[in-house]
């Protein structure tokens, strides 16, 4: 494995391409996500997307916020060569809902909100309560882990340039 500090900077683009691809998947291929969660109901864009365009002389950062976020502006940013650097998502599985922001360069989670759980009635219930909380955290982390692993395998395969990139380009241009 290459040096961690070097790898962090060199592969920032991989996380940002992942988020850009993920937005494309959310809009066009929800069935793919079902492969990673048999109770999957949906993955939606939440209340925040951040873009960065490093193709310009001085890098440009665009933030779209709010529940009625105007995604047309986001598509315009992609058309101008930007990538998604932060993405807030709403994840639904069975009757439960998670919301979180994922940062491309670090894959760090922030503003992670898991489904509510009932408080324990007695000391004997504490272990079950903690394990339920941890299960709920793990569920959102596992979804992203599995999606990222799928993306990486696709990204280093011939299918990426031969098929996936042209599909993403078509989506960007036609949106």
Structure token digits, residue 68: 């009625």
By the rule CB under 8 A, 89 interacts with other proteins:
no
Residue 76, burial from CB neighbour count under 10 angstroms (0-12, 13-18, 19+): middle
Structure token digits, residue 36: 């990673």
C-beta of residue 68 within 8 angstroms of C-beta of residue 162: no
By the rule CB under 8 A, 104 interacts with other proteins:
yes
C-beta of residue 50 within 8 angstroms of C-beta of residue 65: no
Length of the chain: 175
By the rule CB under 8 A, 28 interacts with other proteins:
no
Structure token digits, residue 34: 């079902």
Q: How far is the CB of 34 from other proteins (least distance, A)?
A: 20
By the rule CB under 8 A, 97 interacts with other proteins:
no
Which residue's structure tokens are 């490093």? 54
**Count residues contacting other proteins (CB under 8 A)?**
50
Contact with other proteins (CB under 8 A) among 35, 56, 72, 152: 152
By the rule CB under 8 A, 137 interacts with other proteins:
yes
Residues that bind other proteins (CB under 8 A): 1-2, 4, 7-8, 10-15, 17-18, 20, 78-81, 83, 103-113, 127, 130-131, 133-134, 137, 141, 145, 148-149, 152-153, 155-156, 160-161, 165, 168-169, 172
């Amino acid at each position: 494995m290459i040096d961690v500090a070097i790898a962090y900077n060199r592969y920032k683009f991989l996380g940002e391409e992942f988020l850009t691809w993920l937005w494309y998947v959310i809009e066009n291929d929800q069935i793919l996500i079902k492969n990673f969660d048999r109770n999957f109901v949906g993955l939606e864009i939440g209340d925040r997307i951040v873009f960065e365009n490093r193709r310009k002389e001085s890098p440009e950062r665009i933030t779209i916020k709010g529940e009625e976020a105007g995604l047309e502006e986001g598509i315009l940013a992609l058309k101008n060569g930007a990538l998604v650097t932060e993405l807030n998502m709403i994840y639904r599985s069975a009757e439960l809902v998670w919301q979180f922001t994922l940062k491309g360069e670090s894959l760090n989670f922030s503003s992670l909100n898991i489904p509510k759980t009932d408080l324990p009635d007695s000391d004997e219930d504490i272990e079950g309560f903690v394990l339920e909380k941890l299960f709920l955290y793990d569920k959102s982390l596992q979804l992203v882990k599995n999606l990222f692993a799928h993306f990486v395998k696709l990204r280093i395969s011939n299918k990426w340039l031969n098929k996936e990139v042209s599909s993403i380009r078509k989506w960007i241009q036609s949106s």
